[in-house]
């Protein structure tokens, strides 16, 4: 535990952190990569270029400073980050590198306000936080290795099926090269791929949602083609059936936790349907209360898994589904391909919405914020609403 003096000194630096803003963490990453270019094989450089990762790190540092005397409040954020870190195979030694460059960044940008006392306090504070992460991540690594069909580090999988689900989403079935079983996962979790390819300047690690229920033999991921995403484009264009990928065990803290007796509403926008598709497939393996599937797509061309959902509707009388197309295409038929035009408006199905159940949402941040605001207006409590943000975490 930290002594009161250390806590007071760290909290006194909050105005300094807020005045520096994300420029502080941007400087940190530039500094660290200049001294340790090998870390470019771990960090998602696309998030660096877009500025998402520096902002996410700044928010995490500021939240830590503000809650340093109440670390329990950071529990959910710690779990989310620890799960992400294991998807990048972060090691205890790398925490030392990060800590060193974080302190040096404070010295370089803080001016006279950053005294030896401040550096000493932040050194202790960072050390405590690093230990929390190291211990939790070590547990996650150990659990994956001990699991039936589990492993540590990477394991080679072969692409045994590749299916275009829409104009922008392609599914990949991955089967272990060694022929052994694969560990289960919680519906909603993701796989991490360690991608090596001649077209890439660095090794790239990417995380993609598992889009089917566990089967013990293979995994299915569904990947959206990102016009700016070098890895997603490679997967779509250059990787074919028979090619191999290095896979890191499933991880993630966003997964289905509701009971089978409780109504469930799954809400997705765009490629956000991939983790909730896994949830739906798992949900429908047994007898359950009513399940509602709500999806928003740009149009029919971009709409993935439509036929699969229709097939499930024919099989399960407690499943209902509604689809919104923001701008229906010329060949999209209302009542056949989609139910409503425009953005998702839950008032259109207000009588159908089980407000006493759980709600799982995944999609663009703006979409999720729009949906959550509607649910709140309808009287749904925050505790019933669960969501996932792809990439560096953001609040709604």
Name the residues annotated as catalytic.
95, 137
Say how far apart CA 6 and CA 317 lie, in whole Å. Answer: 60
∠ Cα 101 107 111 (to 5°): 155
Nearest Cα to Cα of residue 101 among 154, 8, 36: 36
Say how far apart CA 264 and CA 358 lie, in whole Å. Answer: 5
Say how far apart CA 171 and CA 46 lie, in whole Å. Answer: 22
What is the DSSP track for 347-380? GGGTTT--TTSEEEEES-HHHHHHHHHHHHHTT-
Element (H, E) at 144: helix 116-146
Partner residues linked to 172 by β-bridges: 162, 221
Q: Which two tokens stand for residue 324?
A: 């919104």
Show Cβ contacts of residue 175 under 8 Å, excluding neighbours closer than 6 positions.
157, 158, 160, 217, 218
Say how far apart CA 293 and CA 338 lie, in whole Å. Answer: 13
Binding region: 85, 190, 206-209, 270-275, 389-392
Binding region for FAD: 190, 206-209, 389-392
Binding region for NADP(+): 270-275
Binding region for heme b: 85
């Amino acid at each position: 535990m930290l002594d009161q003096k250390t806590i007071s000194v760290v909290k006194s630096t909050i105005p300094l952190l807020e005045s520096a803003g994300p420029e502080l963490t941007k400087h940190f990453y530039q500094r660290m990569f200049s001294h340790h270019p090998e870390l470019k094989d771990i960090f998602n450089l696309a998030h660096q270029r877009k500025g998402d990762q520096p902002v996410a790190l700044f928010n995490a540092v500021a939240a830590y400073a503000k809650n340093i005397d109440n670390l329990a409040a950071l529990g959910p954020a710690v779990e989310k980050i620890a799960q992400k870190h294991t998807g990048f195979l972060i090691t205890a030694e790398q925490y030392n590198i990060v800590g060193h460059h974080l302190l040096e960044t404070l010295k370089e940008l803080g001016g006279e306000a950053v005294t030896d006392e401040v550096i000493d306090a932040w050194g202790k504070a960072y050390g405590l936080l690093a230990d929390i992460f190291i211990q939790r991540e070590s547990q996650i690594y150990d659990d994956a290795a001990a699991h039936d069909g589990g492993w540590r580090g990477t394991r080679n999988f072969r692409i045994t099926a590749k299916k275009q689900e829409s104009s922008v989403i392609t599914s990949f079935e991955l089967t272990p090269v060694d022929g052994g079983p694969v560990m289960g996962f919680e519906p909603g979790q993701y796989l991490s791929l360690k991608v090596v390819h001649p077209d890439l300047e660095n090794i790239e690690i990417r995380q993609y949602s598992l889009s089917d229920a566990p089967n013990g033999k293979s995994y299915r991921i569904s990947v959206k083609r990102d016009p700016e995403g070098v890895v997603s484009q490679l997967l779509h264009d250059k990787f074919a059936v028979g090619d191999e990928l290095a896979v890191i065990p499933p991880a993630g803290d966003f997964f289905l936790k509701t009971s089978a007796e409780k109504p469930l509403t799954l809400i997705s926008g765009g490629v956000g349907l991939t983790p909730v598709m896994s949830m739906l497939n798992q949900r429908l393996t047994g007898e359950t209360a009513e399940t509602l599937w709500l999806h928003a797509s740009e149009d029919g061309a971009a709409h993935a898994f439509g036929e699969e959902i229709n097939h499930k509707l024919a099989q399960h009388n407690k499943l209902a589904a509604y689809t919104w197309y923001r701008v229906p295409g010329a060949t999209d038929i209302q009542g056949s391909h989609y139910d409503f035009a425009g953005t998702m408006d839950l008032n259109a199905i207000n009588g159908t919405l089980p407000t006493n159940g759980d709600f799982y949402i995944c999609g663009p941040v703006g979409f999720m914020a729009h949906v959550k605001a509607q649910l709140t207006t309808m009287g749904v409590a925050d505790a019933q609403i669960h969501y996932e943000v792809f990439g560096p975490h953001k609040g709604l």
